[in-house]
Structures are given as structure tokens and as C-alpha cells.
Chain A
């Protein structure tokens, strides 16, 4: 029983640390939220400055079906990625 209590306390502490310590408190745009949510399901997040605006359009065109991107989601993600380039 004592082991279970210690285990529970350690898990609760980990949860509190994880949920209360934000690395970056800046608000995320809708495009960045979608980018982090949709893209990270299959692979690590690419660096937005690693491609130019045209290249990102091509990348999203290739991924929109697999990532189930609506036209609006695609537009928002593209705006986020192209915005990072400037």
C-alpha cells in the first residue's frame, strides 16, 4: 500500500510539473495550433523557415489528403508557415 501511495504522489507531481510549466506562454495562432496538432501525428515538426512559400504550398498539397486538412485548415497552416519565413 505504501508503494502505491508513493507511486501516486510521484505521478501527481509529474502531472503538475507537466501541466503548469509552459515553455512558451505566447498565444498560438490557429494556424500554428493546427500545424502542431496535424503534422506531429506522423513525424516531428519541420522548421517553418526550412522552406520557402512555394515549397510549403507543394508540401501541403502532398499532405492535405493524408492529414485530412480542410481548405480552411490548409490556408491557416500555410499562413503560419509562410509568416515564419518573413
Chain B
């Protein structure tokens, strides 16, 4: 099934080659950006988590610009854990709204909301809110995302955290950066903190862009390494 998924994504992409790309500088952190009105983009995520038991996650996202400041996405999420079969894991809906044009405020603010519905009803669903703050200073892009996650039905737990990145645009085609991500999970009166730091690089050509990042765990509850690859195609 995994191979069918990958072939399908590549096949679809061959038929659409003329439009705009909502390119990501980072793989965990969001910079200040929404997809322009009328634009549609297909994105493919692959995440590998290396720890005691490795796991892989694949996401297919279709993103639509509703206005120049507001966009909406639907994700289909698949996963595979070591020694377990590949499975369709969740459906996710996401929306982002920008409060102004780039450079208008001291920090450019964007509101991000998502709802994650697990297909296995014994797994909790998730609501997530992020404040995306960005700043572009010549070729340097700064992004800070405070995050709140609420897991519910079944059970109830909360997560707080942040994602933060700094990137440098060497040319419109090539961007490199560093990012860090951290989550504090509160469950049954216990608190677990997972934090990561690592590099990202992004390459764009025509209507395609690719971003890859590695994040190395720096706390007791972190995975050893997480690697994420993103590919976006303007439809």
C-alpha cells in the first residue's frame, strides 16, 4: 500500500505543472505565509522517528488558498510502526489566517488551527492551535510558533510547546536553516518534555520544492533522531 501511495502522488504530480508553490523553509516550524487566493498545492510528508522502536509517518496534504490571507488544507495521514502493518491513521483539517501583509507589524502574526481525527476510535483526537510569528530581515527569516494541543475522546491530555527556526536565503532556489522544537505533555499528573534541534535545507525549482530536516533529541523523553522530508507541487 505504501508503494501505491508514493506512485499515486508522483502520477498526479505529472499532470499538474503550472502554478505556485507555498514553499516551507523548515520542516517542523511554520514561517509567516499562506497560499495565495485560488492556488492549490499538493504536499507530501515523510517523517521517520528513530528510537527504541522506529516509526514512519506519511502525509498527503491538499492545500487551497481561499483568499490571499486565508487558506485551508485536508490531510490524509498514514503510519507504520516497527513490527506493525502499514495503516491509514488519521484525517486532518487545517486552516491558517494572516493578520497583515509581510513587514507590516514588528512581528508578523498568523493564526493556525487544526483538527486531527483518528480513524482508530480508541486513539484520541486532537485540536491544535498555533500562533505563528515571523520576521523577514533581508535574507534572514525568523519564525516562532507557540503551540497548544488538546487530546480528547477518549481520555484527555494537553501539550504545550514551541517550534522555532532561523533560515537564510542564499538564493530563491536554496535556503538553509536551523530549527528547534519542544513539547511538554501533561498527562495523569506527569509531565514529559521532548525537545529537538537540527538543520534544514530547502530547494525549489519551477513549481516543485523540497525541504528536508533532521532533529536530534536533546531530552530524556525525546526520540534519538527525527527526519522529515517535504515535497510540494503547485497544481
A18 touches B107 (CB 8 A): yes
- Whether B109 lies near A15 (C-beta < 8 A) is yes
Q: Which residues of A contact B103 (CB under 8 A)?
A: 23-24, 36, 45
Q: State which residues 88-119 of B face A: CB under 8 Å.
A: 99, 101-109
Asked if residues A4 and B186 are in contact (CB atoms below 8 Å), the reply is yes
- The dominant DSSP class at the A interface is helix
A44–chain B nearest beta-carbon distance, Å: 5
Q: Are A68 and B38 in contact (CB under 8 A)?
A: yes
- Cβ–Cβ contact A66 & B133, under 8 A: no
Q: Mark A32-52, 1 if CB is under 8 A from B, else 0.
A: 111011101111110000000
Q: A7-B160, A66-B19 are in contact. Are A40 and B106 (CB under 8 A)?
A: no
Would you give the shortest CB distance from A71 to chain B, in whole angstroms? 14
| A38–B101 CA distance with the chains assembled, in angstroms | 10
| Contact call A67/B136, Cβ cutoff below 8 A | no
Stretch at the interface among B3-11, B20-28, B51-59, B212-220: B20-28
Instruction: Identify which of B33, B101, B131, B207 contacts A15 (C-beta below 8 A).
Output: B131
User: Which residues of A sit under 8 angstroms from B18, Cβ to Cβ?
Assistant: 65-66
**Which chain A residues border B69 with CB–CB below 8 Å?**
37
Contact A18 B146 (CB under 8 A): no
Instruction: Count A-side interface residues using an 8 Å CB cutoff.
Output: 33
- CB contacts (< 8 Å) of A21 on chain B: these are 105-107
Contact B36 A14 (CB under 8 A): no
Q: Does B184 contact A (CB under 8 A)?
A: yes
Given contacts A11-B146, A41-B33, A65-B19, contact A17 B160 (CB under 8 A): no
Does A28 count as interface, using CB distance less than 8 angstroms?
yes
CB distance from B62 to the nearest CB of A (A): 16
Q: Which of B20, B102, B160 contacts A3 (CB 8 A)?
A: B160
Determine whether B227 belongs to the interface, using a CB cutoff of 8 Å to chain A.
no
B139 proximal to A (CB < 8 A): yes
User: For B74, what are the chain A residues with a Cβ–Cβ distance below 8 Å?
Assistant: none
Query: Which of the residues B39, B102, B139, B184 comes within 8 Å of A36, measured between beta carbons?
Result: B102
* Given known A-B contacts A7-B146, A37-B36, A66 and B109 have beta carbons under 8 A apart: no
Judge whether B146 and A22 touch: CB under 8 Å: no
Bound form: Cα–Cα A81–B102 in Å: 16
A10 within 8 A of B: yes
Question: B12-54 interface mask toward A, CB cutoff 8 Å, 1 = contact, 0 = none?
Answer: 0000001111110000000001111111000000000000000
Judge if B204 is at the interface, Cβ distance under 8 Å.
yes
11 A-B contact pairs sorted by A residue (CB < 8 Å)? A15-B109, A18-B99, A38-B68, A41-B35, A42-B20, A42-B23, A45-B102, A45-B136, A65-B18, A68-B19, A68-B38
**Chain A residues in the interface with B (C-beta under 8 A):** 3-4, 7-8, 10-11, 14-15, 17-24, 28, 32-34, 36-38, 40-45, 65-68
